[in-house]
Structure 1
């Protein structure tokens, strides 16, 4: 679980709730018409913008931001070096039994193609297509939250206009001004909270998750190409370490 994302969301919501409770109390900031306009309206608009199959994955995509599938890059490099060492010693066909039990489907797919004797260019092209299409799908999924942020803000403005119209039409009735003004102001607040606490931050972290996964897949492609071409384990390690930040580069051969 990504504690930074979880702590950040909880911290922001706690600070907002604390600030509200110090004033007139949290209950004063809860308004059902405003909730219907902003949350209901923005989700409805989101359903118009995306396919039903994508909307069904909304919660699952959110959980990727909170609890992402992580690949230990150091362990991946160690594994690829082990494959390279065995392939140089016993031939690439000797990897077949290990590859069959490989949990990383992308790595399993690439190595299986290499074992089957496919040309390096063919393997690279197919793996890069897979990587690019996966990245495109992830970007579309992430855009759901950036869109939600924008739509929530827009629905907040719509709610503000609705509240102002209701207030102006009931200027003769002082008792109606308060509720109308509450709708006008709280819809803007709800839209700002959704956009700046959930929508935009989740879209950003999903983009980072996508970049991390793409980096791992680029490492795998590079590793498979080296294994197939018979590169020395040290040369393979040097190539794979170049994908990492300098502080993360720890050689197994030192």
Structure 2
């Protein structure tokens, strides 16, 4: 589960709301016309750019990124599992893997196909298609949230213009200046918060998650090939070692930037 995402969202909202409450009543920051302009306009613009199915897929993928999963995530654990299955299959054949518990849905699909007698090429093709579908869906889902992040501030500015027009057209009536300025300012606030506290970070989060998941699935695809080919466990580890080295290199690069 991505605790950093939930903690970041909670802290961001808490800090903003506390800052609002410390200066005045929080109710001053609630304005129905502003909400209608920003939220309604953002939803409309996003639905124009993407289909209903793509929007709902994006929402579903955002929950997938955040929710807990029982799948094995660590690459070294996947390699250890592959070594265990290799030793079993080299002794008892592919059918011996039928009762092995594989705590990764993608890996489990590949093992099931091998046990069912599918050819190595067919299993590889099926898994690669699943991987491509994941990448394509993640790219579209990230684009949906990026579209929300682009539209929200734009409609915040539209709301600001609406409020200013209303204010300038009724300068003779001082009682209208306050409500009109409220709409003008709050729409900008709503748009900025939606974009920078939710939509754009979620777009980046989906892209980051999809990259890590695709890399994990590529390792599994190569692991399945080793299983199907009956490789020696040492050979398998040599073949999959670059995935761990890439992860280590990325970690070292990030640590170098921090220092």
**Which TM-score bucket, shorter chain as reference?**
0.7 to 0.9
1:51-90 maps to which residues of 2 (within 5 A)?
51-57=51-57, 59-67=59-67, 69=69, 71-73=72-74, 74-90=76-92
Change (3 A) 1:24 1:112: closer
CA RMSD of aligned residues (A): 2.4
Partner of 2:248: 246
CA contact (8 A) 1:159 1:184 kept: yes
Q: 1:122 and 1:66, CA in 2 relative to 1: closer, same or farther beyond 3 A?
A: closer
1:208, CA displacement in angstroms? 1.3
Unaligned runs of at least 5 residues, structure 2: 251-259
Task: Please give the TM-score of this superposition, normalised by the length of structure 2.
Answer: 0.85
When residues 50 and 239 of structure 1 are mapped into structure 2, their CA distance, relative to the original with a 3 A threshold, is same
What CA distance in whole angstroms lies between the structure 2 residues aligned with 1:206 and 1:118? 33
CA distance in 2, matches of 1:133, 1:57: 12
| 2:43 equivalent in structure 1 | 43
Task: State the distance in 1 between where 2:68 and 2:208 align.
Answer: 11
**CA deviation after TM superposition for structure 1 residue 119, in Å:** 4.6
Paired position in structure 2 for 1:141 = 141
For residue 220 of structure 1, give the secondary structure of its aligned residue in structure 2. Answer: helix
Alpha-carbon offset, residue 233 of structure 1? 1.1
1:23-42 aligned at under 5 Å gives the runs 23-42=23-42
Which residue number in structure 2 is paired with residue 208 of structure 1? 208
Q: Give the TM-score normalised by the residue count of structure 1.
A: 0.86
The answer to which of 77-86 and 230-239 deviates more is 230-239
User: Which deviations, in whole Å up to 9, do the C-alpha atoms of 1:179-237 show, x marking residues without a partner?
Assistant: 11111111111100000000000111111111121111111111011122221112222
Query: Match of 1:72, SS?
Result: coil
Is the contact made by 1:146 and 1:199 (CA closer than 8 Å) also made in structure 2?
Answer: yes
Higher alpha-carbon deviation: 66-75 or 132-141: 66-75
**More deviation in 225-234 or 66-75?**
66-75
Q: Which residue of 2 aligns with 1:252?
A: none
Moved more, 22-31 or 189-198: 22-31
Write the distance in 2 (CA, Å) between the matches of 1:138 and 1:131.
11
| 1:31 Cα deviation after fit | 1.2
